[in-house]
Amino acid sequence: MDAGCPRLPDTVLFEIFLYLDHADVLSVGLVCQQWRAVARDEFLWKELFYRYYRVSRDVPRHPGAVSWYDEFQRLYDTIPCVEVQALKEHNDQVLHLSFSHSGCLFASCSKDCTVKIWSNELDISLQHSSNMRPYNWSYTQFSQFNSDDSLLLVSGVFVGPHNSSSGEIAVISMENFTLLSRVRNKPYDVFGCWLNETNLISGNLHRIGRITSCSVLWLNNAFQGIESENVNVVKRLFKIQNLNASTIRTVMVADCSRYDSPDLLLDYEEQLAASSSCPVFDLGSDSEEEEAKPKLPPEPAVQELPDAGGVPAEHGLQQLFDDIMEGRVRPAMTETELETKVAELFVRNRTKPPEPNLLPTDSNSKTKYLIFTTGCLTYSPHQIGIKRILPHQMTTAGPVLGEERRSDEFFDSLDHVIDIHGHIIGMGLSPDHRYLYVNSRAWPRDCVISDPMQPPPIAEEIDLHVFDLKTMKEVKRALRAHRAYTPNEECFFIFLDVSRDFVASGAEDRHGYIWDRHYNICLAKLQHDNVVNSVAFSPVEQELLLTASDDTTIKVWRSPRAVRIRQARRPRPRKLLFSWLMNQKS
């Protein structure tokens, strides 16, 4: 082919043949002779783009694109879909991958109970491996670099007395790979995350009843060895009641400072958000909350408690007990229903109200959101909770138990809740923290949850939802392509990652997947020999992607363009014959 011709897939060339009425042409060279004219034909490339990628015609061109030809070139030449290396240093399932912010390093966690640090150079190489078995860990499951890449948070499953399992977080120095501190973390799938350079968030769980509990989120100093009466190493952030066997899991922090200048705006379908099938509601509004809940079985005939201005919650609780003792509750409540009702009545007058004006009002806002999975109907995570972190809460300074609480503010309320109506199995933030991407497996549309210990069956298809954290609304339609097969009780987290233009996710169907964020189309499937648990884009080079699998390997994927560039940069070895002749002359 002519050197001046672009590197197009055969399927694209065939589309060009059809469009130019050259279906009888057998030589690609004839197309190349007309290339200068064809390459300038915007109408041609627009038609080819919509046909080849099957994009709806009401979707506009990417805002950063100069022409439709450039978009064609971007989507076939810059997707990290070429396997260039397979890393096999782990000897068990690889569960998670995370890049440093500089892109120079990445970490991997595995069922072999090690966390490995890799150097991202021309060829990726292992730099360090830490074995966590001496600390009674079963395996490592998650890692995250702090903002200046000086510390690494590693989360794992800790085996306690009598083989009870909980979680633990370790902090490792990147200067000399020494272990700086360890923090308990319960349940283990809270994972943990950094709030700032030196403070991390962990969780604890206190059982109140059989299906009622209290989650406490703690702010911890990474340097637990500090010796000062004026500096705490830990401080309580929030205390939240859990109903119906639910717990807080998968915490992450979103920084709101860049909401007015995102890398990519996803607003061409914002008008569809209002009719989204995924309800979004604010806990400050009772009417919206009721509308958003899935249909429940009829409530037992218990006296309804009026809101503010009516009977206080304490009187309502006493009234419920009196009604039960005197047989006025019909039909009889089960033990589970009674526990839930009592917990709801107790917490009604023991909860601090949500923060007003949740949405940031200016681009210089220092507001941060704590984001986590939770629920209200069953133990499987089916809601996303959002809690604003105020500036004075971002340090361990002050009383260990946080600000003083009145008796009527025993628990913290959530500032916002997003109901997914399905089992959440993954979450990830866009690089600008404007959008939240959520992997979920949907429940049946009209399902009824009568027992919190028996959640509805979940779909094999994984839905990838997108939420705008500035408006708290779902944008675009849910993406589909990847699948999962495990039932509720065995369901596990599948980590996703988001770059400037792409979003990638693992799946249980032995593939990783890549979608374009603007066009909402699946661009590539990346094959493994077993479940793909995690994916990670380089934060400085979105044409580099890592995938981790149960097949014990980490695969390195680069775009066709990056492969050509890197091959051109490699020094070419001198031919043996030429070297022999030169030696003979000398």
Q: What are the tens digits of pLDDT across the range 13-69?
A: 555 555 444 444 334 444 555 554 555 678 888 888 888 888 888 889 888 888 888
Task: Domains for the chain: give ranges and CATH numbers.
Answer: 10-78 (1.20.1280), 82-262+346-568 (2.130.10.10)
DSSP of 253-280: EEEGGGTTS-SS---TTGGGGGG-SS-E
Buried b (16+ CB within 10 A) or exposed e, 156-190: bbbeeeeeeeebbbbbbebeeeeeebbbbbbbbbb
3-state secondary structure of 568: helix
60 C-beta neighbours (distance < 10 Å), count: 10
Q: What is the mean pLDDT of residues 500-529?
A: 95
Q: Please list the helix, strand and coil fractions of the chain in percent, rounded to the nearest 5, in that order.
A: 20, 35, 45
DSSP 330: B
pLDDT at 379 over 70: yes
Best CA proximity match to 142, nearest among 369, 386, 427, 382: 427
Residue 543 CB coordination number (10 Å): 23
- Position 486 scores a pLDDT of 82
Per-residue confidence (pLDDT) for residue 259, from 0 to 100 = 81
The pLDDT of residue 479 is: 81
Averaged pLDDT, 102-118: 97
List of residues 6+ apart from 584 with CB closer than 8 A: none
Q: What is the pLDDT of residues 215-244, one digit of tens each?
A: 999 999 998 765 555 556 889 999 999 999
Q: What are 532's strand-pairing partners?
A: 507, 549
pLDDT 10s digits, 383-433: 999 999 988 888 887 777 766 665 556 789 999 999 999 999 999 999 999
CA angle 239, 244, 249 (to 5 degrees): 50
392 vs 289, which has greater pLDDT? 392
The pLDDT assigned to 398 comes to: 73
Q: Are 445 and 457 in contact (CB under 8 A)?
A: no
Tokens for 567, please give them: 């091959």
- Using DSSP's 3-state secondary structure scheme, residue 233 falls into coil
- Phi and psi at 481, nearest 5°, equal 180, -40
With pLDDT > 90 as the criterion, what percentage of the chain qualifies?
Answer: 50
Bridge-based pairing state of the strands 213-221 and 199-207: antiparallel
